[in-house]
Amino acid sequence: MRLTLLAFGSLVLGLAAGCAGGPKLVPVKGTLTNAGKAPVPNPAKSGITIVFTPIAESVTRTYPATPLDPDTNSFEVQGPDGKGIPEGKYKVTVNVMTVEPSPVVDKINATCGGNKTPIEVDVKGPNPVVNIDLSQYIK
């Protein structure tokens, strides 16, 4: 009886340890620029959303970035529990909402918004940094 309880306890602990695993989560930091400058003419008067969507997953999850800091053009992707997002390849969408429309804003939204975005990044390592320069995608 004692051996049976010991075996059962070991099995339960083993299963619990296996369930605690899962994908490695990493907090992402990065910048969003346009030819090395602010991504839009007046970032302080614009709302810019940056969203990471895993490429390989069959279930569509999205991981929004923190609001873009207009002074440093920086953002973070902390994931739903603040511990980061799973390592892997992601499509990144960028959308700009502004009261001052411009050709640059129109190009960003048309090129990098929604499912058609050409921006793909590989998130891996202990402290990944993702620097996105929109001039590489907007012609």
Q: Are 28 and 85 in contact (CB under 8 A)?
A: yes
How confident is the model at residue 63, as a pLDDT?
96
Claim: this prediction has a pTM higher than 0.85: no
- Reported as a single tens digit per residue, the pLDDT across 72-88 is 999 999 999 999 999 99
Domains detected in the chain: 23-136 (2.60.40.1120)
Average pLDDT, the chain: 84
Q: How many Å apart are CA 50 and CA 31, to the nearest integer?
A: 10
User: Which of 12-21, 24-33, 70-79, 88-97 bottoms out in mean pLDDT, i.e. has the lowest?
Assistant: 12-21
77's CB contacts (< 8 A; 6+ apart) are 27, 28, 30, 50, 52, 63, 64, 65, 66, 84, 85
- Model confidence at 7: pLDDT above 80: no
- Reported as a single tens digit per residue, the pLDDT across 61-120 is 999 999 999 889 999 999 999 999 999 999 999 999 998 888 999 999 999 998 889 999
Residue 98 in tokens = 């502004």
Task: Assign 98 to helix, strand or coil.
Answer: strand
Q: How many Å apart are CA 97 and CA 122, to the nearest integer?
A: 26
46's CB contacts (< 8 A; 6+ apart) are 40, 96, 97, 98, 100, 105
Higher per-residue confidence, 130 vs 3: 130
